[in-house]
Amino acid sequence: MPLALYALTAGAFGIGVTEFVIMGLLIEVSTELGVSIASAGLLISGYALGVVVGAPLLTAMTARLPRKHVLIGLMTIFTIGNAACALAPDYTSLMVARVVTALAHGTFFGVGSVVATGLVARDRQASAIAIMFTGLTVANILGVPFGTWLGQQFGWRATFWAVALVGLAALGVIAALVPRDGAPVDAADWRADLRAILRRPVLLGLTTTVFGYAGVFAVFTYIAPALTDITGLPASAVSPILLVFGGGLVVGNLIGGRLADRWLVPTVLGTMAALALVLMAMTLALHQPLAAIIAVGLLGAAGFATVAPLQMWVLSKAEGAGQSLASSFNIAAFNLGNAIGAWAGAAVIDHGPGLGMVPLAAALFPLAAIGTALLALRSEKKAFPEPAAETVGCGN
């Protein structure tokens, strides 16, 4: 794999840290800024909203620019945004800075996925996307725990300063290693790109992503109370167990990318089926400590095994026209799935059978994703039927 691909991985690492590290610093942020824990939690929702809105909008606005210039500009926004978070004098300023920072998130992964696939041979494109997304998984394993520790020891602002430095370093390696390119050939008219996105196969691909990832976050959002209240583990055990989850992310991400290089459609369907099975089994596994730990690792592996295949799935549906926009829309779809999953999990806890049944309810999402993917395949088959076999006749 070319070095330029690992420059994209560095950018993905920084973005992953800034997205998730706030979860471990809610108490520190709420105490210093004088807001409730619930209000501090909205900083996570605000970031997700920034990704959902900013990904397609910013991608369309930058469609005429060379992709390397776009990536450099996005890392500049990211770095400035994190510095603004560190300097924020009050809650409102911090929220605005978080939303601005999030604008770079979806477009970076969207444009970066297209750049990554252009750096390698066709039969290694899904693996290239997986390697870029490895930065996100490493952020969960190393960056988030370290950022949380740093914020607890030296104040939450120190964490954002550190992430800003990561962004500055990523900006440097992207500028140095990613090859120059001209304006994308499919960037002549963003309206044409948008029409390509609104095609039925692309919309069904995006819907598959939303359903698939909603299942992951329906459980992951509430994994800490599940481990303490249902499994009976002490709160101090949650952080080490989440390292197991992070290890599963890395393994699943690389396996999913490798399989998708060879068999894209079977991998999309297979990883969704594996995720549904893991979620179903987790309903029982949570009642026994060792089984719960294994289930958390398998959830990470099955959940992230879907990422590269789903990204390639949507890119293949875009078929060249508007691929950057389609890719960014898919990143927005992942974040929309996160929000829907978290809401669904809360509904099961507050108005349904309770915390213990969240994994079983979450399994409905990847099953819905499989149904959506099959519907997309059926639609394509109807639109492009196989030619009938020629009939050979015998003359007299």
- Yes or no: say if 104 and 14 are a contact pair by the CB < 8 Å rule: no
- Among 122, 157, 184, the domain-final residue is 184
CA distance linking residue 144 with residue 25, whole number of Å: 10
The tally of domains found in the chain comes to: 2
Whether residues 134 and 271 fall in one domain: no
Instruction: Look at residue 391 in the predicted model and tell me its pLDDT.
Output: 39
Whether residues 87 and 231 fall in one domain: no
Could you tell me what percent of the chain has a pLDDT over 70?
Answer: 88
CA distance linking residue 352 with residue 387, whole number of Å: 50
User: Could you report the per-residue pLDDT of 92-109, keeping only the tens digit for each?
Assistant: 999 999 988 988 887 888
> Within a domain: residue 396?
no
Instruction: Look at residue 370 in the predicted model and tell me its pLDDT.
Output: 93
User: Could you report the per-residue pLDDT of 154-164, keeping only the tens digit for each?
Assistant: 989 999 999 99
Distances (CA, A) of 84 to 94, 96, 171, 223: 8, 9, 17, 31
User: Could you report the per-residue pLDDT of 320-372, keeping only the tens digit for each?
Assistant: 556 667 777 777 888 788 778 877 888 888 787 888 898 999 999 999 999 98
Whether residues 147 and 205 fall in one domain: no
CA distance linking residue 261 with residue 241, whole number of Å: 31
Six-digit token string for 386: 């196989």
Instruction: Look at residue 234 in the predicted model and tell me its pLDDT.
Output: 85
> Within a domain: residue 133?
yes
What CATH number does residue 333 fall under?
A: 1.20.1250.20
Whether residues 31 and 162 fall in one domain: yes
CA distance linking residue 140 with residue 304, whole number of Å: 12
CA distance linking residue 95 with residue 75, whole number of Å: 19
Which position has the higher pLDDT, 387 or 336? 336
**Region 46-75 average pLDDT:** 82
Query: What is the domain range of residue 269?
Result: 186-383
Whether residues 215 and 135 fall in one domain: no
* Per-residue confidence band for 389, with pLDDT thresholds at 50, 70 and 90: very low
**Region 186-212 average pLDDT:** 74
Please give the single-letter amino acid code of residue 56.
Answer: P
Chain position carrying tokens 């252009």: 118
> Within a domain: residue 256?
yes
Instruction: Look at residue 191 in the predicted model and tell me its pLDDT.
Output: 67
Chain position carrying tokens 């920072």: 101
- Among 150, 184, 218, the domain-final residue is 184
Whether residues 58 and 96 fall in one domain: yes
Whether residues 366 and 229 fall in one domain: yes
Instruction: Look at residue 276 in the predicted model and tell me its pLDDT.
Output: 95
Instruction: Look at residue 394 in the predicted model and tell me its pLDDT.
Output: 39
* Per-residue confidence band for 76, with pLDDT thresholds at 50, 70 and 90: very high
| Residues whose CB is less than 8 angstroms from the CB of residue 206 and which lie 6 or more positions away in sequence, other chains included | 314, 329, 330, 333
* Per-residue confidence band for 286, with pLDDT thresholds at 50, 70 and 90: very high
Could you tell me what percent of the chain has a pLDDT over 90?
Answer: 20
Give the ranges where 263-384 is alpha helix by DSSP (H).
264-285, 289-305, 307-318, 323-351, 358-362, 364-383
User: Could you report the per-residue pLDDT of 288-329, keeping only the tens digit for each?
Assistant: 999 999 999 999 899 888 887 887 777 777 665 566 677 777
Neighbours of 235 (CB within 10 A): 10
Instruction: Look at residue 324 in the predicted model and tell me its pLDDT.
Output: 65
Chain position carrying tokens 């309206």: 191
Whether residues 368 and 241 fall in one domain: yes
| Residues whose CB is less than 8 angstroms from the CB of residue 198 and which lie 6 or more positions away in sequence, other chains included | none
pTM above 0.85, yes or no: no
